[in-house]
Copies of this chain bind each other. A is one copy, B any other.
Amino acid sequence: MIIIVAKNIIKEGMSDEFKRLTKELIVESRKEEGCISYVLHEDINNPCILTFIESWTDQKAIDFHNTTKHFTTIVPKLSAIAKEASQVNLYKAL
């Protein structure tokens, strides 16, 4: 299993738009065969910090996810309203 933590810092006032845009991404990603979980989180102290915590069966599932229509069309829209590049880390649990 691979856990992805993808932290996004959104431009002031654009958090609701980010959440709106991610709705379809979340629904479609959860349908993918290798997706174990895919949850968006909001920082309780700063609504401009929105972080995905995702679990995938393996790297092959992630590679496929990155080519899907929902990923390739929605992620650029998310990047456009982000304050800086998202921090993405892929982890194994110890």
B-chain residues with CB within 8 Å of residue A35 when the two chains form the complex: none
Q: Is residue A19 contacting chain B, with contact meaning CB distance below 8 A? A: yes
Once bound together, how far apart are the Cα atoms of A39 and B51, in whole Å?
A: 18
Q: Is residue A25 contacting chain B, with contact meaning CB distance below 8 A? A: no
Interface residue count on the A side (C-beta < 8 Å) = 22
Q: Nearest chain B CB to A49's CB is how many angstroms away?
A: 6
Q: Is residue A89 contacting chain B, with contact meaning CB distance below 8 A? A: yes
Q: Are A91 and B5 in contact (CB under 8 A)?
A: no
Q: Which of B19, B41, B92 contacts A93 (CB 8 A)?
A: B41
Within 8 A of B (CB), among A12-59: 19, 39-45, 49-51, 53
- What are 9 of the A-B contact pairs (CB < 8 Å)? A2-B44, A3-B41, A41-B94, A42-B92, A43-B89, A43-B91, A44-B90, A50-B94, A51-B91
